[in-house]
Structure 1
Amino acid sequence: MGSLGASRLIREPLKRGTSLDHLEYVDMTPIIGREYPTAKLKAMLEAPNADEQLRDLAILISERGVVVFRAPQDDLTIDDQKHITDQLGRLTGRPAEHGLHVHPLYNDPNNIPMADGTTDEHIYVINSEAAKKLYATMKDRPGAADEPRDLGREWHSDSLYENAPSDFSFLRMESTPATGGDTLWASGYELYDRLSGPFRRFLETLTATCAQPVFATACAAGGYAVASPRGSPLNVGAAFAPSHPVVRTNPVTGWKSVFAGLGLHVSRIDGVTSYEDALIRDYLLRLLTRNHDGVARLHWTRGACAIWTNVSTLHAATPDTHLVDGIRTGVRASGIGEVPYLDPASTGRREALGLPQY
């Protein structure tokens, strides 16, 4: 670990090795995303250098934002998925006492089981119909019948409402309609790099409250206790309102990223007026939507997997499967990383890689 000086990073960035170089891939865009069309995660786990490959995969995900394994991963067990998700964080310096996240509403009877009929506290089953019941108490739920939905509300990073949020998330799609239900990822690195110098410096002074009161109201309505602890001794109770930096450093890469400045779980920019709060969050959302070259889009196929970093990306599911009478179901595991911080010695991605500013 480096010293806390102006010229030394708090954590030295990790260097990716060559253990994945034998795998065929295509980058989803020049800025974000990589897809492996034929690679099998099970083969990675069974390789003699499994930890080396998983460490390189974690660094690659931290650099590219999201990595997709397109070939059906039918031979991968739930325990394999959990092990991979956990190791990605452990092999890249996550706090030793942190593990896999437990969803706050794990005790809710509306949670559907996995395909084999069992449940696992470290696996969240994503299903659009189940979600409607889980979040029935959410105020101002989008989707009024007489107006279009604001899909800008869909963007988020996983478990931002926790004191120690998620580092890596791993979603495996079990079933999906032939069309619809795509997931998009936006690069927080690129959002930071598209800001002017003065605006970057201003946002670096800010934190945001990341409240999610729906969990407490859902538990109260259902008469059950919120799950606790949730992957870290820091993630306990039902407050769900930490303050996180608007700009964060990814400790794996050493690059700055817009983090808690926009999205579903960000409720308020701290220390500014209500008008300034709305202005900042609206501008950052506009910056995301007007620069779609910083966005990767995945059309899901059965058995495909996506693994992403929540430290430096936001993602959004496209809620359009109702148009084809389809339900998509997937299983997700998420790790818990460190408490977010901004390292003043860190830089943006473009500066670090010697790329042009725009």
Structure 2
Amino acid sequence: MIAADPDHELRYKPMTYGGSLDHLEFVEVTPIIGREYTKAKIKDILHASNAEEQIRDLAVIISERGVVFFRENQQDLTVDELKEFTDLVGKLSGRPKENGLHVHPLYRDPGNIPMGNGETDENIYVINSEAAKKLYKTMAGKDSKEPKNLSREWHSDATFEICPSDFSCLIMEETPPHGGDTLWCSGYEVYDRISPPMRAFLDTLTATCAQPVFRSACTAGGYEVMSPRGSPLNVGDEFAPVHPVVRTNRQTGWKSIFAGVGLHVTKINDVYEYEDRMIREYIMILITLNHDCVARMHWTKGAAAIWNNSCVWHAATPDTHLVEGAVRTGIRASSIGEQPYLDPASTSRREALGLPRA
């Protein structure tokens, strides 16, 4: 059992909000997860006279709320500004100094289509369903004729790396009139929905997060995978790191379910096969039963979202093929954080805030 140790100091001192964003209008998406800034422009935050203070405060809000939406059209933000903004959110919130933005592993793939401006960038992932079909055509089970299992959509970004993404920022360039929503689920709250004895057990577990499609895509395409990818530790083409099932968020000091479910998690380590399946199904059931843990974004042209991958999963809704003429494209930059860890001094979110058990 890895219980909170009051005599042990947290590895990272929790960040506190300084008030620099109090002038911005916002609504909380739900009581548990998500905030939406209704009129704010990322460009204004990035170029404010106290930009670092505002971005640091925004990192606190993202880390506590899980995900932040910017509803106003953000398409005046250049690609370089999107990269700078995302990089600063990670840097100013204490990520390892040697880390930067994630590099798309399959950047050299001819199926990696350009952004809307016709350019490509190794630090930008283009959200496009047609491109995804080309990039991930070697993924196992892709040609299954069975109904789509949407539980497979849940993931946090770059879990297949030794150092995954801490923050990801996505600007949606083109959206259909309906469909294509994205959902985020709070790993903090899912952890708090678990009984103390079960939480103590999950605290001891790790998971293998293998994603062999990157190696198979490079082999099929005859090119080398990009390396390093935002951290000196993210090298090579193995893409099968071991991460804790429960991790500590460095910005808050709160525990979250992390490598327990989703697209990149291939097995829970050191348990029997049935137990592995049972644990992952149990966590997925918690996500689907507790929809108050979920924030949903209906995209509008130019809207943006930035989230903390250490404490939320997200899932796209793959239903745009049902909308005639639907186009859904966007660009995403991701900062690379530390190697996931579970701090003995960390607590759950509700424990830290003095809230009753769910």
TM-score clears 0.5:
yes
Q: Deviations over 1:148-177 (max 9, x none)?
A: 211001000000000000000000000010
After superposing the two structures, state which structure 1 stretch, 41-50 or 52-61, moved more: 41-50
Mapped to 2, the partners of 1:110 and 1:142 lie a distance apart of 18
Q: How does 1:144-293 map to 2 (within 5 A)?
A: 144=145, 147-293=146-292
- Aligned partner of 1:104 in structure 2 is 105
1:201 alignment partner, SS class: helix
Contact 2:86–2:334 under 8 Å retained in 1: yes
Mapped to 1, the partners of 2:140 and 2:109 lie a distance apart of 18
Mapped to 1, the partners of 2:153 and 2:230 lie a distance apart of 24
Mapped to 2, the partners of 1:124 and 1:244 lie a distance apart of 23
Mapped to 2, the partners of 1:310 and 1:148 lie a distance apart of 28
- Aligned partner of 1:8 in structure 2 is 9
Mapped to 2, the partners of 1:286 and 1:51 lie a distance apart of 40
1:330 alignment partner, SS class: strand
The gaps in structure 2 that reach 5 residues or longer are none
Deviation of 1:142 after TM superposition, in Å, equals 6.6
Contact 2:36–2:68 under 8 Å retained in 1: yes
Mapped to 2, the partners of 1:338 and 1:331 lie a distance apart of 23
Q: Deviations over 1:293-324 (max 9, x none)?
A: 00000000000000000000000000000000
Mapped to 1, the partners of 2:350 and 2:165 lie a distance apart of 24
Mapped to 1, the partners of 2:123 and 2:197 lie a distance apart of 42
Contact 1:135–1:218 under 8 Å retained in 2: yes
Q: Deviations over 1:167-212 (max 9, x none)?
A: 0000000001010100000000001100100000000000000000
Write the letter of the residue equivalent to 1:139.
A
Deviation of 1:344 after TM superposition, in Å, equals 1.0
Contact 1:142–1:149 under 8 Å retained in 2: no
- Aligned partner of 2:332 in structure 1 is 332
After superposing the two structures, state which structure 1 stretch, 71-80 or 328-337, moved more: 71-80
Change over 3 Å in CA distance of 1:143–1:57 after alignment to 2: farther
2:169 alignment partner, SS class: strand
- Aligned partner of 2:84 in structure 1 is 83
Identity, % of aligned pairs? 67
Deviation of 1:6 after TM superposition, in Å, equals 4.0
1:169 alignment partner, SS class: strand
Mapped to 2, the partners of 1:310 and 1:43 lie a distance apart of 24
1:112 alignment partner, SS class: coil
Mapped to 1, the partners of 2:143 and 2:352 lie a distance apart of 39
Runs ≥4 in structure 1, deviation > 4 angstroms? none
Change over 3 Å in CA distance of 1:183–1:142 after alignment to 2: farther
Mapped to 1, the partners of 2:72 and 2:243 lie a distance apart of 37
Mapped to 1, the partners of 2:228 and 2:208 lie a distance apart of 20
- Aligned partner of 1:58 in structure 2 is 59
Change over 3 Å in CA distance of 1:65–1:142 after alignment to 2: farther
Contact 2:75–2:173 under 8 Å retained in 1: no
2:122 alignment partner, SS class: coil
After superposing the two structures, state which structure 1 stretch, 39-48 or 175-184, moved more: 39-48
Mapped to 2, the partners of 1:194 and 1:229 lie a distance apart of 38
Contact 1:129–1:327 under 8 Å retained in 2: no
Write the letter of the residue equivalent to 2:36.
E
Mapped to 2, the partners of 1:84 and 1:100 lie a distance apart of 11
Deviation of 1:38 after TM superposition, in Å, equals 0.5
